[in-house]
Amino acid sequence: MAIYAYALIGIIVGILARIALPPTRSVGFVGSALLGGVGGIIGALLSSVFAPGGVTSHIQPLGVVVAIVFAALVSIGVIVGTRNRRFA
């Protein structure tokens, strides 16, 4: 059940990344939220590998931190990577 909490944390981080960064045409609001959710799940799974006890059925502080970091990295990376750059 904790994987849902990690996904929700990621969705919130993805939405905040969308609000904080300038908008792009290729990644919308829902796309940013989904990218954040995926990043949160990936972060939680990676933290369960390295954490003592390695369980994703309970929310762990390390899992929350890693989920936030990965959600931010995925969301910001895709938003910045798809931004149109114009040189005039």
pLDDT tens digits in sequence order for the chain, 88 residues long: 788 888 888 888 888 877 877 666 667 778 878 888 888 888 888 887 877 666 666 777 888 888 888 888 887 787 777 766 655 4
Contact 14, 36 (CB under 8 A): yes
Verdict on whether the full-model pTM lies above 0.85 = no
- Other residues' Cβ atoms within 10 Å of the Cβ of residue 46: 15
The domains of the chain are located at 2-79
- Alpha-carbon distance of 22 to 25, in angstroms, equals 10
The label of the residue with tokens 């931004």 reads 83
Closest CA to 48 of 58, 37, 36, 35: 58
